[in-house]
Amino acid sequence: TVFGHRVNDPERFGVVEFDGDMNAISIEGKPKRPKSDCAVVGLYFYPNSVVDIAKAVRPSARGELEITSVNQAYLEQKVLKLQILSRGYAWLDTGTHEAMSDATEFVKAVEKRTVLKIACIEEVAYKMKYIEKFQVEKLIDQLGKSDYAKYLKKII
């Protein structure tokens, strides 16, 4: 599964074209004439078969191993699905200096106006029961009197 987000300027991103059943039909990198307005956001869920596919990936013309090669393999097998991030999710482009600044301001505004942190991995892990209270407490001790430590104290 590739995750996508509808954007106003798809030519700036990798774009996924899909059918009515959310099957990916094509993926293009920064196309001049995008086939859809759905940008690939860089989040993927793969089955265990990804290990064998990844082992077969060869360096691209840039000399890099590309995630696109993995997606292309699933696309050729006709098993690549798309999940569009719906309303209520925020995907923030950080591919330019201006976009990075915009993303920073978004996170800052949300965290300033709410009691929540964005992308607090320890909070997610604790609430999903991947880590235990004592592990969060140990981290809090390591963080000292930081605002992040204070936030973690509130969640346990």
Q: Please state, rounded to an integer, the average pLDDT across all residues of the chain.
A: 93
In what order do the strands lie in the sheet containing 2-6? 24-29, 14-18, 38-44, 2-6, 82-84
pLDDT at 66 over 90: no
Structure tokens at 98: 């201006």
Q: What is the pTM of this model?
A: 0.73
Nearest to 24 by CA among 48, 40, 43, 41: 40
What is the Cα–Cα distance from 156 to 136, expressed in whole angstroms? 8
Q: How far is CA 123 from CA 136, 141, 155, in A?
A: 9, 15, 7
Q: What residues does CATH 3.90.550.10 cover in the chain?
A: 2-84
Q: What is the pLDDT of residues 100-135, one digit of tens each?
A: 999 999 999 999 999 899 989 999 999 999 999 999
Q: What is the pLDDT of residues 17-62, one digit of tens each?
A: 999 999 999 998 888 999 999 999 999 999 999 999 999 999 988 8
DSSP-derived 3-state class of residue 139: helix
The separation between the first and the last C-alpha atoms of the chain, rounded to the nearest angstrom, is 33
Residue holding tokens 């090669």? 69
pLDDT at 68 over 90: no
Residue holding tokens 């954007």? 7
Domain 2-84 has CATH 3.90.550.10: yes
pLDDT range class, residue 93, cuts 50, 70, 90? confident
